[in-house]
């Protein structure tokens, strides 16, 4: 598996504090802030188009309504995914995975692609996303980190592209985490940095894999986690974290 050079700060859904999450504007904003890596979520429309989107429903981040799984791409492509955040983002579209990858590549960013399937589409979402990503991603660049809370999605990614690194996501501590990390041959352990404890971080460190913590927006918390042994944080305001973690000791 490709070795990972993970920065201390990864932009969460782009730069979520400054632009509507999981949009191309958010990715460009993150790049403008000096971020080296961004994290985004991928799921499928009703007709199997891979889009960059977090929620199961359209309502929070678009002017659409109802479950993503019930909306086809023709419908979602017409939605406004920006004006909920601010008038200056009026008309911002929901990007496809292809559009996202092209933008990330053009901006020379690293990528954590989280497989965020609608219920029952764990395998299919991973298959479609990996098929697109492996077709578009340049061979001469370090591959994306593929993460998911859904173990079957990571299993699918492992079967399709074993050399691409996988991130094992946990919201709460799992007693069998070592077994799962080993089985899935995970490259990173991604944890909820706001609820974890120092003794748990010490336990995860025994796996000798990078530990990434989400979603950290307070400098004091970021410093504490790094002190405990966490290698990097996902942040909505990555510029604040970058300043904190790279200029202060």
63 within domain boundaries: no
- DSSP assignment of 144-195, as one string? PEEEES-HHHHHHHHHH-TTS-EEEEESS--TTHHHHHHHTT-SEEEEETTT
59 within domain boundaries: no
67 within domain boundaries: no
Distance CA 104, CA 64 (A): 26
Three-state secondary structure call for residue 61 = coil
212 within domain boundaries: yes
φ/ψ of 63, rounded to 5, equals: -90, 15
Half-sphere exposure of 197 (CA within 13 A, CB side): 5
208 in active site: no
Distance of CA 152 to the CA centre of its chain: 17
pLDDT band at 4 (very low <50, low <70, confident <90, very high): confident
53 within domain boundaries: no
54 within domain boundaries: no
* CATH code for position 213: 3.20.20.190
Query: By percentage, how much of the chain surpasses pLDDT 90?
Result: 96
54 in active site: yes
Provide the domain limits for residue 105. Answer: 9-44+98-247
pLDDT band at 7 (very low <50, low <70, confident <90, very high): very high
Helices 151-160, 122-136: axis angle to 10 degrees equals: 40
User: Quick one: pLDDT at residue 3?
Assistant: 61
241 within domain boundaries: yes
Q: Computed over its alpha carbons, how large is the radius of gyration of the chain?
A: 17
Count of structural domains, the chain: 1
**Residue from 177, 137, 183 nearest 162 by CA:** 183
The reported pTM is: 0.97
* Per-residue pLDDT tens digits for 154-169: 999 999 999 999 999 9
* Per-residue pLDDT tens digits for 61-84: 999 999 999 999 999 999 999 999
Residues 42, 113 contacting (CB under 8 angstroms): yes
**Residue from 101, 165, 95, 167 nearest 133 by CA:** 101
**Beta strand pairing status for 37-44 and 50-52?**
antiparallel
Averaged pLDDT for residues 225-241: 97
pLDDT at 2 over 50: no
pLDDT at 1 over 60: no
68 within domain boundaries: no
Distance CA 193, CA 212 (A): 8
Mean pLDDT of the chain: 96
* Per-residue pLDDT tens digits for 206-225: 999 999 999 999 999 999 99
Residues 108, 35 contacting (CB under 8 angstroms): no
Distance CA 165, CA 218 (A): 28
């Amino acid at each position: 598996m490709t070795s990972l050079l993970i920065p201390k700060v990864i932009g969460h859904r782009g730069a979520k504090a400054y632009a509507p999450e999981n949009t191309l504007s958010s990715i460009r904003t993150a790049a403008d802030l000096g971020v080296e890596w961004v994290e985004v979520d991928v799921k499928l429309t009703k007709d199997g188009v891979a889009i960059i989107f977090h929620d199961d429903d359209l309502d929070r981040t678009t002017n659409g309504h109802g479950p993503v799984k019930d909306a086809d791409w023709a419908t979602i492509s017409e939605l406004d995914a920006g004006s909920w955040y601010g008038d200056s983002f009026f008309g911002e579209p929901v990007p496809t995975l292809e559009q996202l990858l092209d933008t990330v590549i053009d901006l020379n960013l690293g990528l954590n692609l989280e497989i965020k399937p609608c219920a029952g589409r764990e395998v299919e979402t991973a298959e479609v996303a990996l098929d697109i990503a492996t077709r578009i991603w340049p061979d001469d660049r370090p591959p994306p980190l593929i993460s998911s809370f859904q173990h079957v999605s990571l299993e699918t990614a492992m079967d399709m592209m074993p050399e691409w690194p996988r991130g094992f996501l946990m919201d709460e501590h799992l007693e069998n985490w070592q077994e799962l990390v080993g089985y899935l041959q995970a490259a990173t352990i991604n944890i909820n940095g706001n609820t974890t404890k120092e003794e748990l971080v010490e336990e995860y460190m025994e796996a000798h894999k990078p530990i990434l913590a989400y979603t950290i927006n307070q400098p004091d918390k970021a410093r504490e986690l790094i002190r405990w042994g966490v290698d990097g944080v996902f942040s909505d305001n990555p510029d604040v974290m970058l300043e904190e973690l790279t200029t202060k000791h």
